[in-house]
Amino acid sequence: MGVRHGMFGVRGSGDTSGFGGLVRPTVLPRSTPPPYGDDDEVVRALTAALRRRGGASFAEAVEKVVVHCGQLTLHVAREHLPAVALALRDDPDLRFEMSLGASGVHYPDATARELHVVYPLQSITHNRRVMLETWAPDADPHVPTLTRVYPTTDWHERETYDFFGVIFDGHPSLTRIEMPDDWEGHPQRKDYPLGGIAVQYKGATIPPPDQRRAYS
């Protein structure tokens, strides 16, 4: 899907700056073929729950199922996200009662799906977790809010909007939560400039990050 340059994590070079010339590809995990081991029960129960509700089927709502590093992730088309979340919350065989937040990810090279949002869900009843992941293009950065299903996602969706520019349709108060209201841009996107913005702090001017120190 692309490459990343100068990432942290290079070993054996002594470089801890993140600018050590490291180049590696950006690869998203592919769909995992069934069976899914312990997660088979979740997929079967969700398939049945969506069928009973009479809306989109599992195959229509979920683009792929990924089991990576022992974590089940359901990649859900954004228009079906609330219905899938509601089924996961309310079906007695699933009972994912708690959302642990919402996080944004920016993949600038993923054409037509550059912005991703990830929701980790926890079932207290059955003591298990599942991740919901959805996406939107830069040209149309809209994702349905999950605040009506999980009210605790309120501030997390605001933070994702603030830092990534994802617009959560139906959110009760989608305003910035970390940056000032008049701030331009979304600072955790990959195309956001590193440095070059003067910051005032307690009367002293703090230089931009790229001017504070130099790397040889």
Domain annotation covers residue 1? no
Domain annotation covers residue 184? yes
Domain annotation covers residue 4? no
Domain annotation covers residue 216? no
- Predicted confidence (pLDDT) per residue in 48-88, tens digit: 999 999 999 999 999 999 999 889 999 999 999 999 999 99
Domain annotation covers residue 2? no
Residue span of the structural domain in which 200 resides:
23-211
Q: What is the pLDDT of residue 29?
A: 83
- Any idea what the Cα angle at residue 33 is, between residues 71 and 68, rounded to 5°? 20
Query: What total of structural domains would you count in the chain?
Result: 1
- For the entire predicted model, the pTM comes to 0.83
Cβ neighbours, 10 Å, residue 38: 11
Contact 157, 147 (CB under 8 A): yes
CA separation for the pair 103, 211 (Å, rounded): 30
Domain annotation covers residue 27? yes
- Predicted confidence (pLDDT) per residue in 96-123, tens digit: 999 999 999 999 888 999 999 999 999 9
| Strands annotated E in 49-127 | 62-68, 71-76, 98-99, 103-106, 115-123
CATH of the domain at 29: 3.30.460.80
Distance from the Cα of residue 145 to its chain's centroid: 13
Domain annotation covers residue 7? no
